[in-house]
Structure 1
């Protein structure tokens, strides 16, 4: 049965007693389109039909399917669960009302009904439903705008990075050629000048500085080239092994042994493999350089969700979604308290050689290119009683 089809909002009245339905029709017919059902099965057909009701006034005590069962069905269906259900019943005990609310009812009206109360309750819940729908619509529109704006920002960032990369490449080319010429001329002077001549000392200084400048240009070019390409799925164990192989090349050239204890839970991560291998290798090589011994010992651990609490506690909980946590620890001398805050700054170094860009590149790859977090810790920063406290580098990667 349908009444007042011209009304914009539709109410479903469900009661096994026709006289009760008549009372509710009298109270509401001038305000809403009304549907009626005298049993639970018919009520569910009406809820799933067209027009779909905006609100259901539902009797609890009905033969066959009870009002509680009907409410459970409505709330269990993703299509209909947002329809407000108001129980209309002679059961007025607090436990009965609480049970109905737990099932998912929005409100509870006791019989005999008061038309003004029914009208007020129905209007209030329809207004709430409309407000929720408007808010959801606004949220959807806002989320879409955020996605569009984020895509615009990402694209603009990519274009800026690409422009910077081209500029750095051009600058490197323009600087490298004259620097190499200066170094070559200085070398020629060295060969033509007696060793005890002051000119030989000056020529050697010029040659060494030209080599340092040439190396620095290369470091800057490499840093700019660390822009991520499209990510792909990679096994974490293979990723770490590639980084270790790259670091072993450094170990061979420096005459060091590299001992690694690994405990990685198998998982697929989604990264730019090229630059991530570079970043991990930089962490390992940095540990080897500071080891100060012929044998460098590392421990590498990782797993899904590992170290997330520690990163969050350090105020580094910006990563979104499920992540794979990695920690690379060494048994070296550690990092001084005064030095630790600056180790990822560009060109900051306490070593006699090197440009001081290793951990800067690590931060660029993990944080900027992969949206991760990076935490560098050393007991030496808080304790002066440990002879070889070591350093740990903790970071997270996006899961595939």
Structure 2
């Protein structure tokens, strides 16, 4: 009877229920309604079995949450096949629910990490920036010492901005980042990045240059793009870092700036070669060329930042020809 069916379902939590509509006491429809109203039993698949061959009756049963409807007389093989099918579907839905829960937990952990980065790491950085700014303002340091202080100060600001950028990248991945574009001078950003790598350039005898395409317009706005300064800095800091790391000693890193129709193209060339097996997926997440401490996120974030600013990015690499990464960004 219907009352016994409800008690059994509540105590046993079966994987699937075959439920007759015509039962003494509480009928099958009411049993189904109560099972679906109970949080502990609502996800159990219910298949109605009935002697009624009525489309309206079948529609009512399915509307109550049943997954199938079998009319009498029936073949046991058909019933078994349908039960098997719905058990497989139930398992698949449970797997999806479990994966979704894991993704939600991963998102929560990512938010926690971002919160820690944005709060706990900022305190020591603010001290570094504050003390270096104080020493620079004191006029007690000249020559190399003042230069080193400037580098420390600039690096502190850069790292502070990169921490703020971490959450922005998460928003970009989810398509919820709100871009606020303004005219940005790309040449100034590139020079800052090269300045920060000055020690490496000297120690490894690298040659690094910024070249304006001779065919480009000489208008004063030729090196301006529409974007956000922090995003552009992060974009080219990643690409320049890759170029420095990929270049052998005495290698050359050449940045060429070209004006295009409504865009500025910035091409970064180095004499290293990208392994053939990763060229097609160079901008994908977690792809790395085997660097000891590589995360595989540098070029991925570069693509994400470029596309967020309505630009495009591509890479070309060949044996003996080196590697060129070209970024196109809209101009004002």
Point out the structure with max Rg over C-alpha: 1
- Normalised by the size of structure 2, how large is the TM-score? 0.46
Q: RCO greater where, 1 or 2, for CA within 8 Å and sep 6 or more?
A: 2
